[in-house]
Amino acid sequence: MQNLQPTVHVHLKRDGSVLVLGSEGSGFRWFPLTLGRLESTLAGAKAQGAVIEYSRDNPEADPRKPVELIYKIIMSYEMPIKLLKDPPFPLP
């Protein structure tokens, strides 16, 4: 049986808000995170050897300044990252 690597799904909204995919009941949904909560989530995920799957609104355009700054925070954790053109689940 194959071991699955823990994954954190992060989506950055155009306005700079952050969503993370989590489970609720028997399904998944996007939860908003503050920057502090994002950092604690990433620190815990890094300790587990997780990979980040990252998507953002309007990926064809240059990111707005808040999105760029949050992306730099994500990259500072030096975790493997997979850039996605579209989020893995529908956004709210």
Q: How far apart are CA 83 and CA 58, in angstroms?
A: 13
Kindly state the tokens that stand for 40: 């604690």
| Strand runs labelled E in 25-84 | 27-33, 51-56, 81-83
Out of 5-14, 18-27, 55-64, 70-79, least confident range = 18-27
For 19-32, what is the mean pLDDT? 87
Query: Is 0.85 topped by the overall pTM?
Result: yes
Does the pLDDT value for residue 55 go beyond 60?
Answer: yes
CA distances from 69 to 32, 42, 47, 48 (A): 17, 15, 23, 24
Helix then strand then coil, in percent of the chain rounded to 5, is 25, 30, 40
